[in-house]
């Protein structure tokens, strides 16, 4: 098949770009001709909360990436849509994660599928955003109505599609594939040495962009528990602030946590991801709202036990008691699970064995097959 993926990719950075590039490689391994169309402008600077949108890594030499779509310039939407209509790819895979992208992606889809041949299938990370803003509903519907079908990575998003009135279109649920692009598992001692961390502590890892819905405040409250304070355990915070840091700093001061934290609050480059996960004894995702999480799939790749909160689709991929903990999104519940883990060292080996078993089901071949299956039903 002739495939076009439209969404973030190099020179943009972050989990969406990593995913789309890995998906392109999976299509190519299946024998398809594939290219990615990414953004020349993804977000205007005033809408982007991080330090930079762009990667400092070299360009991937094995991928065909076109940088041409401007999220706020309708002329670029029209030009790309009309060109794709003429080129007649068999399948366009859109990555949809934010209502702001609805006008650009929806316009491209409408124009491209006007040739009567091209099918437009969206991987919908969210259709109801974590952080709601005025106009979200119309922008999302504009995009969804332009698509032929959908693949979701959580059952909760599949239900959201039905709730929004798009249940009549072909849609499949397939779990988020493994993020296997960050290198092999490293010995813990090597990872600790690379991060210059002492080996006498156990380490909990909060990883990824820091936003309100990800619940770092809950984790800091939980980590203040006196039972944890008495144990040789530290919390690694590895990720860039995408909102004001002041409320978190206030919690750290209030609970006197500074000496118990390891801070890495800049963007974590790809080549350092393995160090943080392989140094960690437990990966903690204390989210207040979620659909699916790429962090879980990095943790599975590195065979790290996990603690997740029971929100949205987050718990779907984490069998409680087999690979870790699933708890309510409260500081007390998180603290209880952390104490259980940190006071029973034998649980780590049990959970690690569980991750090795469970991770076998999260393949990129399954995702490629699902996208093609939705297209074939049209």
The length of the chain is 378
pLDDT confidence of residue 122: 97
Q: Look at residue 371 in the predicted model and tell me its pLDDT.
A: 97
Residues 368 and 353 in one domain: no
Mean pLDDT of 149-177: 91
Which residues pair with residue 216 across a beta bridge? none
Query: Per-residue confidence at 23, pLDDT binned at 50, 70, 90?
Result: very high
CA distances from 233 to 105, 230, 268, 330, 374 (A): 46, 9, 22, 20, 47
Average pLDDT, the chain: 93
Give the neighbor-by-neighbor strand order of the sheet with 119-124.
Answer: 65-70, 33-41, 2-6, 91-96, 119-124, 149-152, 171-173
- At residue 289, the pLDDT reads 83
Check whether residue 25 and residue 121 sit in a common domain: yes
Q: Are 331 and 234 in a shared domain? A: yes
Assigned domain for 235 exists: yes
Do 230 and 266 lie in a common domain? yes
Query: How many domains are contained in the chain?
Result: 2
pLDDT of residue 52: 61
Residues 6+ apart with CB under 8 A from 187: 278
**CATH at 290:** 3.40.50.2000
In DSSP terms, 151 is beta-bridged to 123, 172
At residue 14 the predicted structure's pLDDT band, cuts being 50, 70 and 90, is confident
Longest distance between any two alpha carbons in the chain, whole Å: 66
Q: What is the mean pLDDT of residues 106-122?
A: 97
User: How do residues 261-309 score in pLDDT, each as one tens digit?
Assistant: 999 988 888 899 999 999 999 999 999 987 677 899 999 999 999 999 9
User: What is the pLDDT, as a whole number, of residue 327?
Assistant: 97
183 inside domain: no
Whether 198 and 331 share a structural domain: yes
Is 101 found in the same domain as 85? yes
Per-residue pLDDT tens for 250-267? 999 999 999 999 999 888
Instruction: Say what the pLDDT of residue 48 is.
Output: 56
- If asked whether residues 39 and 151 sit together in one domain, one would say yes
pLDDT at 84: 98
152 and 282, same domain (yes or no)? no
Query: Hunting for tokens 């409320």 — which residue is that?
Result: 247
Does the pLDDT of residue 50 top 70, yes or no?
no
Residues 315-349 pLDDT 10s: 888 999 999 999 999 999 999 999 999 999 999 99
Coil vs helix vs strand at 39: strand
| Higher per-residue pLDDT: 142 or 127 | 142
Q: Domain limits at 118?
A: 2-177+363-376
> pLDDT above 70 covers what percent of the chain?
97
Summarised one tens digit per residue, pLDDT across range 25-40 is 999 999 999 999 999 9
Confidence of residue 128 (pLDDT cuts 50, 70, 90): confident
Quick one: pLDDT at residue 43? 80
């Amino acid at each position: 098949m002739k495939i076009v993926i439209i969404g973030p990719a190099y020179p943009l950075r972050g989990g969406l770009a990593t995913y789309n590039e890995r998906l392109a490689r999976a299509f190519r391994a299946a024998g398809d001709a594939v290219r990615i169309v990414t953004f020349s402008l993804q977000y205007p600077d005033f809408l982007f909360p991080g330090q930079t949108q762009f990667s400092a890594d070299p360009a991937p030499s094995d991928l065909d990436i076109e940088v041409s779509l401007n999220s706020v310039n309708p002329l670029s939407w029209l030009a790309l849509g009309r060109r794709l209509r003429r080129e007649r790819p068999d399948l366009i895979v859109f990555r949809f994660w934010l209502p702001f992208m609805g006008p650009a992606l929806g316009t491209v889809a409408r124009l491209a599928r006007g040739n009567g041949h091209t099918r437009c299938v969206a991987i919908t990370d969210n259709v109801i955003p974590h952080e709601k803003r005025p106009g979200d509903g119309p922008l999302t519907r504009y995009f969804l109505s332009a698509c032929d079908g959908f693949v979701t990575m959580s059952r909760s998003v599949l239900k959201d599609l039905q709730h929004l009135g798009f249940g009549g279109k072909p849609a499949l649920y397939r779990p988020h594939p493994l993020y296997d692009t960050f290198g092999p598992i490293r010995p813990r001692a090597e990872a600790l040495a690379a991060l210059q961390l002492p080996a006498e502590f156990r380490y909990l890892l909060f990883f990824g962009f820091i936003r309100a819905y990800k619940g770092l405040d809950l984790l800091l409250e939980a980590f203040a528990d006196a039972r944890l304070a008495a144990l040789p355990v530290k919390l690694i915070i590895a990720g860039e602030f995408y909102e004001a840091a002041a409320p978190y700093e206030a919690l750290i001061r209030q609970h006197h946590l500074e000496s118990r934290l390891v801070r890495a609050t800049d963007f974590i480059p790809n080549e350092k991801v393995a160090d943080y996960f392989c140094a960690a004894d437990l990966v903690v995702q204390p989210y207040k709202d979620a659909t699916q999480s790429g962090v879980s799939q990095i943790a599975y790749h590195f065979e790290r036990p996990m603690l997740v909160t029971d929100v949205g689709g987050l718990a779907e991929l984490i069998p409680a008691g087999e690979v870790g903990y699933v708890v309510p999104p409260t500081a007390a519940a998180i603290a209880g699970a952390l104490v259980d883990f940190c006071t029973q060292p034998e649980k780590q080996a049990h959970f690690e064995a569980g991750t090795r078993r469970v991770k076998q089901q999260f393949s990129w071949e399954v995702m490629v097959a699902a996208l093609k299956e939705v297209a074939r039903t049209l």
